[in-house]
Amino acid sequence: MVPRYEYGGDEFIFVELAEEMSLEVNFQAMAITKQLKEDNVPGIVDICPSNASYMIRFKPEEIHPDDLISKLKELEKTVSLEGFEIKSRIVDMPILFEDPWTHETVMNNRDRHQDPNSTDLEYAARINGFDSKEDLIQAITDYPYIASMIGFVPGLPWCYQMVPREQQIEVPKYVRPRTFTSERAFGFGGAFAVIYPVQGAGGYQLFGTAAAPIFENEQRLHDFKDSMTFPRQGDLLRFRSITMDEYKKIRKEVEDGTFRYLIKEFTFTPQQVLENPKAFSDDVLGRLYA
């Protein structure tokens, strides 16, 4: 696909690099927006990278939109993934699958779902060719994900699993969105896993709940001292299945302010991922739990 450049009112330019999400196009969006930020172009107010696109807010009195588009097209041609490094974190994300709270939400919304007679996990397992929901959970937790985009609501990470394309798990969103989704609900929509930072509406299939917050307005916990949102684009997240006992232990640590995520700093290149995603994922997990 030829990248698409569009005006968004008087102050925005939207660039769609591809209609289809892939690791390569996501890395390209990261590389272009990183270079644009480093170039410090006068008149640019904000740079928002997405899964397969990005958006720029600018001051039209300081830079003409056509001039900005010319700059962006130049970056599209000149920015290379070779030598591009992503400074990242590997993070252990404890998830309680089939928890009672999201299960209640799931069962209260069967009339909005493709299959009213099964749970979201059972439905997702079946349409992805797994023999059981346990096999699906195993596939979800076997390999890490990259936070390819942060958004929709503050701090929500869109997470794309780092496996060969034929192993990608995909599910549709609900036929009609729910009016309620609990804080920290763990869900899946399309090829993306997400954690809902706060209570609200939602349409992703719900599989469980995260034990620790990813949004903390009060910034009490150590991991939130620099920002009220935890995930960053480029983070490598491993969703780990936990028991109810471990969930309660983590919740107590969160409440008394002592909880800290297991984090390892990590720098990698797109080539490492694209050449052999499975080997890269194995290396990531080895580093995280070493």
Tens of pLDDT along 48-94?
999 999 999 999 999 999 999 999 999 999 999 988 999 999 999 99
Based on the fold, state whether residues 59 and 92 are members of the same structural domain.
no
Give percent above pLDDT 90 in the chain. 93
Instruction: State how far the Cα of 36 lies from the Cα of 56, in Å rounded to an integer.
Output: 10
The domain boundary, picked from 40, 57, 80, lies at: 80
Which residues, 6+ apart, have CB-to-CB distance to 12 below 8 Å? 55, 56, 57, 58
Tokens coding 12: 């925005």
Residues 12 and 49 in one domain: yes
Taking residue 194's Cβ as centre, other Cβ atoms within 10 Å add up to 22
Tokens coding 62:
């300081």
Query: Do residues 127 and 256 both lie within one domain?
Result: yes
How confident is the model at residue 55, as a pLDDT? Answer: 96
Q: Is the dihedral of CA 195, 196, 198, 199 positive or negative?
A: negative
Average pLDDT of the chain is: 95
The stretch 223-235 carries a mean pLDDT of 96
Are 72 and 126 contained in the same domain? no
- Give the model's confidence band at 202: pLDDT under 50 very low, under 70 low, under 90 confident, else very high: very high
What percent of the chain stands above pLDDT 70? 100
Residue 1 has pLDDT above 90, yes or no: no
The reply to whether 121 and 198 lie within a common domain is yes
Using the 3D structure, point to which of 26, 50, 80 is the last residue of a domain. Answer: 80
H-state helical runs in the chain: 23-39, 65-78, 100-108, 120-127, 133-142, 244-256, 270-275, 277-288
Q: Which amino acid is at 96?
A: L
Provide the whole-model pTM. Answer: 0.93
Band the pLDDT of 278: cuts 50, 70, 90. confident
| Torsions phi, psi for 85 (to 5 deg) | -110, 140
Beta bridge partners of 93: 239
227 with 130, same domain: the answer is yes
Read off the CATH number of the domain in which 231 is found.
2.40.100.10
Torsion of Cα atoms, 126 then 50 then 148 then 140, to 10°: -10
If we measure between CA atoms, which residue out of 200, 148, 150, 145 comes closest to residue 177? 200
Check whether residue 57 and residue 177 sit in a common domain.
no
The answer to whether the beta carbons of residues 68 and 58 sit under 8 Å apart is yes
Tell me, what CATH number does 54's domain have? 3.30.1360.40
Our measurement of the distance from residue 115's CA atom to the centroid of its chain's CA atoms, rounded to an integer in Å, reads: 26
Element (H, E) at 88: strand 86-97
pLDDT band at 115 (very low <50, low <70, confident <90, very high): very high
What pLDDT, on the 0 to 100 scale, is given for residue 153?
86
Summarised one tens digit per residue, pLDDT across range 141-176 is 999 999 999 988 889 999 999 988 889 999 999 999
The last residue of a domain, from among 46, 80, 114: 80
Question: What is the spatial distance between Cα 91 and Cα 261, in angstroms, rounded to a whole number?
Answer: 7
The tally of domains found in the chain comes to: 2
Could you list the residue range(s) of the whole structural domain that residue 31 is in?
4-80
Neighbours of 84 (CB within 10 A): 17
Angle among Cα 74, 78, 81 to the nearest 5 degrees reads 135
Cα angle for residues 254, 256, 258 (degrees, 5° grid): 65
Is 115 in the same domain as 238? yes
Domain shared by 64 and 120, yes or no? no
One domain, residues 231 and 143: yes
Shared-domain flag, residues 103 and 36: no
List the one residue out of 31, 9, 63, 16 whose CA is nearest residue 234. Answer: 31
What is the Cα gyration radius of the chain?
20
The pLDDT score that the predictor gives to residue 113 is 97
Mean pLDDT across 25-36: 96
First to last CA, the chain: 41
- 50 plus 99 within the same structural domain: no
